[in-house]
Each structure stands twice: as structure tokens, then as C-alpha cells.
Amino acid sequence: MEAVKETVDQSLREMRDTFASGRTRSVKWRKAQLGAIIEMVKDNEEKMSDVLFQDLGKHSTEAFRDELGFVMRSATTALNCLDKWVVPRNSNLPLLFYPATGKVISEPYGTVLVLSSWNFPISLSLDPMIGAIAAGNTVLLKASELSPNASALLAKLIPSYLDTKAIKVIEGGPDIATILLQHQWDKIFFTGSPKIGKIIMAAAAEHLTPVTLELGGKCPTIIDHHSVSKDMKAYYVLVEQSFASTLIDMFKPVIRSFFGENPKESGCLAKIVTKKHFQRLSRLLNDPRVKASIVYGGSMDEEKLYVEPTILLDPPLDSEIVNEEIFGPILPIITLRDIQESIGFIKSKPKPLAIYAFTKDENLKTRILSETSSGSVTFNDLMIQYMCDALPFGGVGQSGMGRYHGKYSFECFSHEKAIMEGSLAMDPEARYPPWNNFKLNFIRLAFREAYFKLVLLMLGLTKGVRK
């Protein structure tokens, strides 16, 4: 432990010195690093696919779509847009302040910490880092120990492609995280569970460190019976009672077409990440009331860490499987008398990261938008908002605070500094004590931008202001 503490101290010192030297402020440096990230992923696509398969059983297409391709695109966007993003924005000042000028500059926070999660270990590590680097910070990454091969690969590759004095990786679990959190960072970016998010924010509070927390939470999918869903990646589905059996009948052939008759052997279904997670899922499914609600699937293999794609119909609403985040191929379907009730149902639970709604009903769409709160809402698709980098990605309430992707990543790691320049030319006496009624009226009129009256006041043609 002492050795680790020493390493962390040293790393922090080096990163802070590097930041102070101004090297990371240069746009050229930032672009070089972003280019190096793209190269790193391109050169090592196969190795990265491999570790994702080892850690998660992820198929290479999924790995590309959700992680590698995603990261390359994110870095490319940052590379192409950086010149635009770093330009100060001029602010329009009210006439009262003429001829002063104002603008806002995006300034890097300094030395930042990125803590990523195991479910998308490459993209949840590199994507925030892309933002941090684009914004001109030095950054330390700690990837999740629950995806050890991905973590190890990143720890090996990053130092050989990126500027080691500014960008560092450390491996480890909760005890390493604890050591890291004892230090003062200029920003912390965390992806993970709400439970740990609270610990991170409390630790950050000691140093008044701003945080972005990308947390989880159950993402409801509303299926209006006019439409159909093909993707299994929802967390729970809300449908009208009358539609439930139709939906289940629609799911079954779709699952079969995705994964074949024997999903275990398909090679397309990711495995459960650890034995601990498997045992948790097994426990959730073995609850007799939950077991009774299984209408498809349900078989499990502890040795292969395999859980069959499983559909539950109306599991008890107070069960853990309905209320806790499920990281597994289990889909609870909850039926309602009327699809409009889905709104009340969602509102009764903590605010999710995303709400998905399949419907053509404009009224329902409006109600969902205005009556529920979530990080985001996607109509008629799933997960895809993650890929749209013009949209901010982040939560609200229990699902998190702060956002990123595209330009939002750059802003996430920047302090928006206001800069105002006054003029020494215009210097009305009314600005200065000793105070008197004339000065008071002058300032009142100036504030109201009542310039004509102001002129009258100065010419002595009016005494004062009617309040």
C-alpha cells in the first residue's frame, strides 16, 4: 500500500508540474494526443476486441459498435472541432457598460481523475479522457478491476501512445480508488452506480472538487401497443395488459433469430462479468415470486457464467429485480390497464438515465416529455441517443449529474471563465463617493437604460427619478 501511495503522490506531482508548464494548453499538443488515441485503437483493434471478449464475452461487432468505433469517432470529432471549441465567445454587453467588452474563455481545470466502469471498459475510459485532453487537462485513469484484461491492456497501451507526463493509468479496485480520492483533484469524472457515486461526491466535497457522475438506474421502455421493439437491451418494459402476450410472442422469435436455438453457444451473447454478479442474478431469479413470473428462458449455467435471455411477466413490483439495476439479460414486462399509467409508474421511481418510448401517439409523447424526468428521452429506438454526439449524455437525480459527448465533453472538463475589459476613457463621476442624490438618480437611470432621461438629468432639466 505504501508503494501505491508513493506512486500516486509522484504521478500527481508530475501531472501538476506538466500542467503548470503549460504544455497541455497548446492546441497542437491536444490534437497530437487525440490523433494518438485514434492510432492506438486502430492499431490494436483485435487485441481490444479480444480483451472485451475475455472480460465480458462481448462479440467483436458489438465491441466495435459500442466501444472501439465509438471511441474513434469521438476522438475524430474532437480533433476536427477543437479549433472551433477553443475560441473565446464574445458576450454582448448592455449599453450601460459601453465601451467595455466581455467574453468567455474555456480554461482547463487542471489535473483530473477519470474512474470508469466495467460494462464498457474501453469507451467509458477513453471517451471521458478524450474530453479531458481536448480541454487541455492532465488526466489519470483508473479503469475497473472487474474488467481486468481491458484494464491491463489500457495500462499497457496508453503509456506507449500518449504523453506519459500528462496522461497516466493506474490499475486497481476500491482500495486504490480510496487512495486516489484522498487527494485533491481539479475535477472527477465517475461512471458507475449511485451508491458509489455518493461516496465519490462526498470525497470530492472535502476538496471542493466539481464532479460529473454518470450513474445507472433502471431505464424504462414504454411500448405503446401500436409499435414494436426488437432490441433486448431495455431494462424493463411497460405495456398495456391486453398487449402483453402479443409482445412476448413477438420477442420469442426475435430472440431466436438473434441468438439461435441455443443462445449459450451462439457466441453473440455476452457472459455475466463475474461470479459475484452471476450469484446476484441467480438469487434474484430464484426468488419464488420472481420465478413464477418467468415466461421465457430462465436457465443458468454458473460455470460458464451464462444466463439465458429471460422474460418476466409482471414480477412483484416490490422485488429487487424490478427496483434495482439489473446487469443481465433479464427483461421484466410490467403490464398496465392503460398505457397512460406508465407515466405515473415511472414518476414513482428514481429518475432514470434514459426513457425509451415506442409510440406514434403525439399526446403520449408530450405527456412523457413534460411529466417525467430523465437524463434523456428517446422515441422509437433504444440506446441510440448514446451515439448521437450532438446530444448531451448524462443523468438527473439518482441517475447522475453533469453530461458529456461531443462538445459537451470539452465543456465538462473546462471552467468557463468570464473576462471583462473596462475602458479608462469613460469615467463618470457618478460612479464614486461621496454619494449624493444626483449620483443616485444618475445611476438609477443608467441602470434602467433610460438614456434620454439621463441626459436630461445631466443637463439639469430634471431633478430625479419616479421610482
Partner 1 sequence: MVKVFQAADATDLVTELRRSFDDGVTRGYEWRVTQLKKLLLICDNHEPEIVSALHDDLGKPELESSVYEVALLRNSINLAVKQLKDWMAPDKAKTSLTTFPASAEIVYEPLGVVLVISAWNYPFLLSIDPVIGAISAGNAVVLKPSELAPASSSLLAKLLEQYLDSSAVRVVEGAVTETTLLLEQKWDKIFYTGSSRIGRIIMMAAAKHLTPVVLELGGKSPVVIDSDTNLKITAKRIIAGKWGCNNGQACISPDYILTTKEFSPKVIDALKQELEAFYGKNPMESKDMSRIVNSNHFDRLSKMLEEKEVSDKIVYGGQKNRDKLKIAPTILVDVPLDSQIMSEEIFGPLLPIITLNNLEECFDVIRSRPKPLAAYLFTQNQKLKERFALTVSAGGIVVNDIAVHLAVPTLPFGGVGESGMGSYHGKFSFDAFSHKKAVLYKSFIGDAAIRYPPYSTGKLRLLKALVNSNILEIFRVILGLS
Site residues (CB under 8 A) for partner 1, limited to 345-374: 347, 369-370, 373-374
Residue 55 makes contact with partner 1 by CB under 8 A = no
Q: Shortest distance, CB of residue 170 to partner 1, whole angstroms?
A: 23
Q: Is 452 in the site for partner 1 (CB under 8 A)?
A: no
Distance CA 83, CA 65 (A): 27
> Where in 14-33 is the site for partner 1 (CB under 8 A)?
20, 22, 25
Measured from the CB atom, is 148 or 404 closer to partner 1?
Answer: 404
For the CB of residue 394, give the shortest distance to partner 1 in the complex, in Å.
8
Longest dimension (CA), the chain: 93
Report strand pairing: 294-296 vs 236-240.
unpaired
Smallest distance, partner 1 to C-beta of residue 235, A: 17
**CB of 19 or CB of 315, closer to partner 1:** 19
**CA nearest 168: which of 295, 288, 38, 15?**
15
Residue 289 interacts with partner 1 (CB under 8 A): yes or no: no
- Side-chain-side CA neighbours of 406 within 13 Å: the count stands at 10
How far is CA 284 from each of CA 220, 277, 296, 310, 327, rounded to the nearest angstrom? Answer: 19, 11, 16, 12, 11
144 scored as a contact of partner 1 (CB under 8 A)? no
What are the cell numbers at 6?
508513493
DSSP secondary structure of 227-255: -----S--SEEEEEHHHHHHHHHHHHHHH
Residue 340 engages partner 1 in binding (rule: CB under 8 A) = no
- Binding marks (x or -) toward partner 1, 67..96, rule CB under 8 A? --xx-xx--x--------------xxxx-x
Interaction pattern, residues 238-277, with partner 1; x per rule: CB under 8 A: -------------------xxxx-----x-x---------
230 touches partner 1 (CB under 8 A): yes
For the chain, what is the radius of gyration of the CA atoms? 27
Looking at residues 418 to 437 of the shown chain, list those that interact with partner 1 (rule: CB under 8 A): 418-424, 427, 431-435
Size of the site for partner 1 (CB under 8 A): 101
> Is 439 in contact with 430 (CB distance < 8 Å)?
yes
164 binds partner 1 (CB under 8 A): no
Residue indicated by cell numbers 475524430: 76
Q: Does 387 bind partner 1 (CB under 8 A)?
A: yes
